[in-house]
């Protein structure tokens, strides 16, 4: 019988994170949710307990405040005893038009999605390596594969995050750290509410199922839905003059 995982999940109260937390709970895993809204965290924890989590708790942790990371991990360790898996689904999103108009919003997105996420992953990496290794699974995006008109800033943060995660995997895999980069396309979640779904738009449950598969099998990079792997293989090879012609 499979031993339950002990999981720290940042971003598990909505969207892909919530769908993934529910799937972890349904198979009896032990889960601590990180987030910044206590009422939402408490509701989510109660839901996970009903769904079968062998342990479910929450710890306040704000991705906008890197000074909170170490103490949050300390609290998670007290609750779980140890954790072998850290998952990051939290991120900031805004449209290109919003970011071009609002410099403060742009600064927040650039900082949270790259700098603070890397600092969070570094804290997680150190904790996992201290006990001999584990799994660090982070959501990036297909938006980071090429520079594209509709997602100049958001895509740049995800491109940087993907390269960081790849380097982390190369550097620490032999020491027992499995780094998994998930690259979703458009997913129907509260974060994308109000945007017109493009072709191949996915549901959060579908994406969560694939993420769980990647975690269990240690797949370093997974595009979700899977159709994005061949699509992005083509897009990466398109000349710049072709990319400039399309609002894609």
Beta-ladder partners of 58: 33
Q: Which residues contact 210 (CB under 8 A, 6 or more apart)?
A: 182, 222, 224, 225, 226
Q: What pLDDT score was predicted for residue 11?
A: 95
Q: What pLDDT score was predicted for residue 4?
A: 92
**What Rg do the C-alpha atoms of the chain give, in angstroms?**
18
Domains of the chain: 6-244 (3.40.50.720)
Q: Which helix (H) or strand (E) element contains residue 161? A: helix 152-172
How many angstroms separate the Cα of 44 from the Cα of each of 11, 41, 174, 210? 11, 5, 35, 21
Burial category of 141 from C-beta neighbours within 10 Å (exposed 0-12, middle 13-18, buried 19 and up) = buried
Q: What pLDDT score was predicted for residue 211?
A: 96
Question: Tens of pLDDT along the chain (248 residues)?
Answer: 578 999 999 999 989 999 999 999 999 999 999 999 999 999 999 999 999 999 999 999 999 999 999 999 999 999 999 999 999 999 999 999 999 999 999 999 999 999 999 999 999 999 999 999 999 999 999 999 999 999 999 999 999 999 999 999 999 999 999 999 999 987 866 666 566 666 667 788 999 999 999 999 999 999 999 999 999 999 999 999 999 987 77
Q: What pLDDT score was predicted for residue 187?
A: 80
Q: What pLDDT score was predicted for residue 246?
A: 79
**Set 107, 154, 164, 223: catalytic member:** 154
- How far does the chain reach from its first CA to its final CA, in angstroms? 46
Whether 164 is a known active-site residue: answer no
Q: What share of the chain is helix, strand, coil (3-state, %, to 5)?
A: 55, 15, 30
């Amino acid at each position: 019988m499979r031993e339950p995982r002990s999981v720290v999940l940042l971003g598990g109260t909505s969207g892909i994170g919530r769908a993934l937390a529910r799937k972890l709970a349904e198979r009896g895993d032990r889960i601590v949710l990180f987030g910044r809204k206590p009422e939402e965290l408490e509701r989510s924890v109660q839901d996970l307990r009903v769904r079968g989590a062998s342990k479910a708790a929450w710890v306040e942790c704000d991705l906008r405040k890197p000074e909170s990371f170490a103490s949050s991990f300390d609290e998670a360790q007290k609750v779980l005893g140890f954790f072998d898996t850290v998952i990051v689904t939290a991120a900031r999103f805004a449209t290109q038009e919003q970011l071009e108009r609002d410099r403060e919003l742009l600064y927040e997105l650039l900082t949270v999605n790259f700098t603070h996420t890397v600092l969070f992953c570094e804290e997680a990496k150190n904790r996992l390596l201290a006990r001999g290794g584990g799994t660090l699974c982070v959501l990036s995006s297909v938006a980071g594969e090429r520079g594209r008109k509709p997602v100049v800033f958001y895509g740049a943060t995800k491109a940087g995050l993907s390269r960081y995660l790849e380097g982390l995997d190369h550097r620490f895999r032999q020491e027992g750290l499995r780094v998994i980069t998930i690259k979703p396309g458009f997913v129907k979640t509260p974060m994308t509410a109000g945007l017109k779904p493009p072709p191949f738009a996915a549901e959060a449950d579908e994406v969560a199922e694939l993420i769980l598969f990647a975690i269990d099998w240690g797949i370093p990079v997974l595009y979700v839905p899977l159709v994005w792997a061949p699509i992005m293989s083509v897009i990466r090879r398109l000349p710049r003059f072709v990319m400039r012609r399309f609002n894609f």
